[in-house]
Structures are given as structure tokens and as C-alpha cells.
Structure 1
């Protein structure tokens, strides 16, 4: 069972990361899906997405949850029936969940240079022009994207813009944390963000500041 990493964090939070090496059938062993989720999986054309979906169910099982314990609200935000907070992500060969007593978000992204082409759509790129080369810029922009995506997942309000409503405080490349905030109409929240980099991927998880 390739549980890649487990991290404990303040707020009784726990991050679990899975490296997806098994087939869909192997990942399905011991997993009982609800009818809705079974239909979702059957409708997925991508094998990567199917395996990612099932690896998340394996992570839930590690923490004592079944598929039936998970539900989504009208904004697409996942919730657990026992009231604890959860966020979910998967990208290519990795998936992850974070479970906490407080509102949380998590995102994993493969580090790819194409982020340089879309950076202006989600952050003021001029803030990072001091970086020495494109590889360093690519890494930092991926971290910023993951941070904003994790806040977006936690905040879960339709209409939120990465560029206009989510701010990530600057940090040095290689640092493992930063602060971030999101403001939308009359609602505003601050978050603590933690970073990991591994095997060409970036992960960020954000927890709302108490």
C-alpha cells in the first residue's frame, strides 16, 4: 500500500498523500461506493482520474471513513458526516486528503513550465521577476497556484477570482510556509499555508487561522 507521506499539523489536522502505482482494480479492493459515486467512476473516461478517485477512497479508509461518509454541498465542497473538515486533491500519480477540526484546503500539482504562460491570469507575475531562471520561476508559481487553489477549495464561494480575491504573502523559494488571505464581498478569511515539493510535484495545504 503506497501511502507516501503522513503529516500532522495544528488543529488536530492530518495530511495523507498516496502515490498511485496500482491498477484501478487493485485500488477498488475493499472499497464500497455509493450509487452516485459508482456512476461517477463509470462515467470517467480517463484511467488516471479513475485511479485517482479510488486512491482517495483508500486514504479515507486509513482514517476510518467509507465513501458513504463523504458528501458534497451545492458549491462542490466535500464534507464528512461527523462534522470534521476535509479537502481532496489528485494530480497524475499522486492524491492527497487533509482532515482537520478547522476549514482546510489542499492541492497537488505537477511542476510544468506551461504555468509560465498562464501566470498573469492568477497572480501579479512582476512580484517574482527577481528569480534567477525559468525553472525557479516555474517552481514558485506552482507553489503560489497550489496555495491559491487550497484557499479556493476551503472558502468555496462561486465567483471567487484567484487574481482579484486571493492574496498570498511573498516567500522565499525553498521556504515551507506562508500566510494568505481571501476576501469576497463582505466575507474575509486568513490562512496559514504549508508547502511540500517531491518527485516533480508541489503540494500546498491551507488551514484557516483561528
Structure 2
């Protein structure tokens, strides 16, 4: 299907969402890929991952870019040749890209019980107290997305979700919160925006001013 939605996260950041309903062949035929991207695609074992990768390229083309405008640094972080900041994520039936004038990190996660089971390994579980089961799962998934998003901004080896990234407590209705990274004897603050798209959680992190 075409671009599902575009959301202005703020005055200088745009979220684009693609819901993947196409077959792999239809997606593959609809985009042009660099040789390095084609090799990367062929190396993916999961068709769902392949379709997510191609969905990202469809999103790029929907806003006037292409795979030829995208490159990755030595740490795997994506960049656009014109200097616009980009973050990419895909999960099952959705691909998303975020374009911004500032450095950002974004993550998309499907709601699944496994995230809640793993919660003690990556977060302060006291932040899940006094919630109904549905909200508990949603909040744990938001927190996982927060930590993924901060990690995508910093992209430094050795960062631990549990030991170095600390989210402020928040309410799901707020759709935003703050988070602190304490790593290598340095403390940094980030602002978080999150949204719910069907049974998925979308999270985006920004450096705090």
C-alpha cells in the first residue's frame, strides 16, 4: 500500500510510516538499489526483514530520496548525503523513517509478551507498578524503545540499557518523557516522544537543549 501516514513530531522532525502489504517481489521491483544494498538484501535470511528493508527504501522515494542518497558509517548508523539527519526502523508489518534537522534516534517495536518477561534485564521495573496488564506491556515496550533510540543516537560500544540509560518515570498518556545517559563519566539528557501505531510502539529520541 502507499505511505500510511506522515506525522510532524515537531517543527523540524517528520515521521513517515509504511504499512507493508506488498509481496517481496512487488517491493523489490518498485525500488532501485545500489550494489552494496542488493548484497545486503540477499544476505538477509528472513523475508520479513527483507521487506522491512525495502519498505524503508519506498519511504525514502516518497520524499524525494533514494537508496543512492543513503549511506552507513562504520558503526552502522545511517546518513543522507545532503546532511539531513535520518533514523530507520522496521518491525514485522511496518517500516518507518524519521527525517530531522537535528540528530535523532528512532525505534519501532511490536507489542509482545517477551518484552515484558525481559523487562528486569533492561529497566527499573518499579516504573511498571500499579498498571493494568495492557498498560504494563505498553510501558515496558516504550521503555525498550527509549533505550534503543538513545543507543542509536550515541552508537557507542559498551552502553548497557540497564546500567547506563535511565528513563524518567512517565504516564503513557503523556506521549513524552526525559531520559539520562550516564556513560564514560559523562551525563547526557535526551527528550523522548512516543506514539502508538496499531499494535506497535514508536519512539524517537532527541538531544536535550
Partner of 1:97: 97
Aligned partners of 1:13, 1:179: CA distance in 2, in Å? 18
Aligned partners of 1:43, 1:124: CA distance in 2, in Å? 37
User: Following superposition of structure 1 onto structure 2, how do residues 68-83 of structure 1 map, counting pairs within 5 Å?
Assistant: 68-83=68-83
Partner of 2:155: 156
Displacement after TM superposition at 1:97 (Å): 0.6
Shift of the 187–81 alpha-carbon distance from structure 1 to 2, 3 Å rule, reads farther
CA contact (8 A) 1:11 1:101 kept: no
User: Following superposition of structure 1 onto structure 2, how do residues 1-210 of structure 1 map, counting pairs within 5 Å?
Assistant: 1-10=1-10, 12-131=12-131, 133-210=132-209
SS in 2 for 1:33: coil
Aligned partners of 1:62, 1:3: CA distance in 2, in Å? 7
Q: TM (normalized to structure 2)? A: 0.94
Displacement after TM superposition at 1:10 (Å): 3.0
CA RMSD of aligned residues (A): 1.5
Number of corresponding residues: 209
Displacement after TM superposition at 1:175 (Å): 2.1
Structure 1 unmatched ranges of 5 or more:
none
Aligned partners of 2:38, 2:115: CA distance in 1, in Å? 33
Aligned partners of 1:181, 1:84: CA distance in 2, in Å? 25
Displacement after TM superposition at 1:164 (Å): 1.2
CA contact (8 A) 2:105 2:151 kept: yes
CA contact (8 A) 1:2 1:21 kept: no
Q: TM (normalized to structure 1)? A: 0.94
Structure 2 unmatched ranges of 5 or more:
none
Aligned partners of 2:104, 2:122: CA distance in 1, in Å? 20
